[in-house]
Amino acid sequence: MKSWWQPGARVPAPQAPDPPQRNEVSDAQSLVRSLAQPVSNLGRDAAEVRGALEDTQKVIVAQREAMQALELELQQVQRAQSGIAAATAESIAAVARAREALHKIGAEVGGIVQTLRQVSDAASDITRIALQTRLVAFNASVEAKRAGEAGRGFGVVADAVKDLATQVEQSSKSIMGTVGALDARIDSFSRELSSEGRQAQESSIHAAFGIVQADVQRIATAADESQQTTAALAVRAATLGGDVALALRYMDAAFACSDRFLRLSEDLIERIASSGVRVDDALYIEGAQQAALEVGELLERAVAQGRISLADLFDEQYQALPGTNPAQHLARFSELADQLFPAVQERMLQLSDKVVYCIAADRNGYVSTHNRKYCQPQRPGDVVWNTANSRYRRIFSDRTGLASARNERPFLLQTYRRDMGGGRFVLLKEASAPIHVQGRHWGGLRLAFSF
């Protein structure tokens, strides 16, 4: 595979109808060189502005998510408060029903008291009759003794009647005592049940019901006040949510302006680099183009030797590696990339002490093999360390990554912030060049360097 580019070659300047004089050329070159650094600084400022916008957007998005979560929580609180209000209303109604039932029970107990009093009166009558019977039997026994032998049988009957009357009297007195004690207890209970509104001092039962009713009413009042407060908070949260959504729309507009600003600066940098005037970025542009050419040749040779098929080389069915964070993936060409790419990528790190990395990415931004210092095995649970040190087997689908991977122009020069994890970013420039295999665009060679 032959390349149109050779190391040290420059893109020829456009031909003018009348070639300028040497002094004019020298002046133009001096002007271009004088513009190169300010334009480079412009690109750096544009990248910093975009980075600041991205940071702000993350904060606003987090706020939006927090507001949405808060709205859901407030809705749940409101539903719970509605449930409390319904429960307290039912509790108050239940207390009222219980008090009504107590009144009915009091009336029933009052009837029991009256019945027991009737039983006591009947027992009293029995006692009185038994006493009279005992007196009559005693008199009959005295008369039977006077009658002598003739009244002996009658005397035995009289004594038996007297004994029976004594037993009846004792039993009736026992009944009267028991009924009296029971009557006193039930009467007291009846007064407890029916004393509300008729006694200066409420009964303990009704007092307890009063306390329960007051407590339930306090719960209902508190729930109602809380519901009103929560409703106000929900309205405020909805307002804030609208403000956050509006801020995001403004952020979208700011991003559009930032993109135009960044693209303008990158276009100026590319125009200066393509002018034919030797500028500082030329070293890295030429290095990226040379490395892209070498990687393309290595892949073509591997296909020709049967080490990999074109289908496998252009594999896009990335297989996620479980348990990785950030996510890592495998492709069918990953093993071949590990074998071929380091020879080119590691050498390009020696191009300048400003070079940060040199990597080959397929057209989707997938970097199978990074520079060795960034190919450290991941540490479970340490996403910050992994982000900075385990950058291989990763898909970089950010703006810069995809632009470099899908660029098919001779070169692309970008300025961007590299995410190192944990909120740390490094501001870099990146020169990229397309990688072709048998006429097909496989991806891009990305060479990043510091300012």
pLDDT value for 365: 97
CATH fold of 38-260 reads Helix Hairpins (1.10.287)
pLDDT value for 11: 40
pLDDT value for 5: 39
Q: Which residues pair with 319 in a beta bridge?
A: 330
pLDDT value for 191: 67
Angle (nearest 5°) at CA 70 between 69 and 76: 95
Class of the CATH-defined domain 280-449:
alpha beta
pLDDT value for 281: 84
Listed residue (390, 367, 345) closest to 442, CA to CA? 367
Tokens of 446: 């990305």
pLDDT value for 17: 47
pLDDT value for 362: 98
Please, how many CA atoms are within 13 Å of residue 408, restricted to the half-sphere of its CB? Answer: 7
44: phi then psi, degrees, rounded to nearest 5: -65, -45
Question: What sign does the CA torsion over 37, 38, 43, 45 have?
Answer: positive
Tokens of 176: 């009267």
pLDDT value for 275: 66
pLDDT value for 60: 74
Question: What sign does the CA torsion over 356, 361, 365, 369 have?
Answer: negative
- Where in 251-390 does DSSP place strands (E)? 319-320, 329-330, 355-362, 366-367
pLDDT value for 280: 77
pLDDT value for 61: 72
Give mean pLDDT in consecutive 10-residue pieces for the chain, a chain of 451 residues: 41 46 57 59 62 68 71 71 73 72 67 69 70 70 71 67 70 72 70 55 64 73 73 74 74 70 67 69 93 98 97 97 97 98 97 96 98 96 94 94 94 82 79 97 97 80
pLDDT value for 209: 65
Integer Cα distance of 308 and 168 in angstroms: 121
pLDDT value for 128: 73
| Sequence ranges of the domains in the chain | 38-260, 280-449
Integer Cα distance of 137 and 141 in angstroms: 6
Q: Judge if the upstream peptide bond of residue 326 is cis by omega within 30 degrees of 0.
A: yes
Query: What's the Cα-to-Cα distance from 419 to each of 46, 370, 428, rounded to whole Å?
Result: 16, 15, 11
pLDDT value for 15: 46
